[in-house]
Amino acid sequence: MRKLCLFIATSLDGYIAKPNNDLSFLKLVEKEGEDYGYAEFTSSIDTIILGRKTYDYVLKEIGTSHYDNGDRDVYVITRTERPQQGRTIFYTGNIAALINRLKSEQGKNIYCDGGAELIDALLQQDLIDEMIISIIPVLVGDGTRLFKDGRPEQTLEFIEAKTFETGLTQLHYKRKKE
């Protein structure tokens, strides 16, 4: 069955962005020719789901091409109806229903690209199957947390840890089999 996977970077103190969506700390680990497994990861997925605020942010900063490269479906989770654009669908329905439908269909894995609100909604309903979390060697001190307070407990199975010259450590977990 298709899996819903998280692939995300966080500071050691657990923030995916500093206040005002400041992602400048990611520059600490930028290195020519090092993508930290991103290309390999994205070759394993054919569907992206992300929150509307994250979509708008990426649209403004990078452009639609970052998501909608023509060979994958993009679901933007939003409260506001909007017409489909190419393979980008603006989804206003129940998130669990969407994920369960996608998982029941044939295809590669599904990539949740954030943001924190959507990740929280998915964790609340225990819908995430694998997590690849890249820990940047910095305490940023404040901002948007990857994990919000008030979720159910979930035991994980550790798969592996990869370390990189830049000091980034990538931790890979999957849902613990019941």
Which positions touch its own copies (CB under 8 A)?
12-14, 18, 25, 28, 123, 131, 133, 135, 137-142, 145-147, 149-158, 160-161, 163, 167-169, 171, 173
Task: Assess contact for 53 and 13: CB atoms under 8 A.
Answer: no
Q: Quick one: 21 or 42, whose CB is closer to its own copies?
A: 21
Token digits for 31?
């290195």
Q: Quick one: 13 or 46, whose CB is closer to its own copies?
A: 13
What 3-state class would DSSP assign to 7? strand
Q: Quick one: 41 or 147, whose CB is closer to its own copies?
A: 147
Task: Give least dist CB 173 to its own copies, A.
Answer: 6
Task: Give least dist CB 152 to its own copies, A.
Answer: 5
Task: Give least dist CB 105 to its own copies, A.
Answer: 27
Task: Give least dist CB 81 to its own copies, A.
Answer: 33
Task: Assess contact for 173 and 130: CB atoms under 8 A.
Answer: yes
Q: Quick one: 18 or 103, whose CB is closer to its own copies?
A: 18
- Tokens 């990426």 sit at which residue? 58
Strand partners, 169: 135, 163
Rounded distance between C-alpha atoms, residue 50 and residue 19, angstroms: 20
Distances (CA, A) of 117 to 35, 54, 122, 148: 25, 10, 9, 8
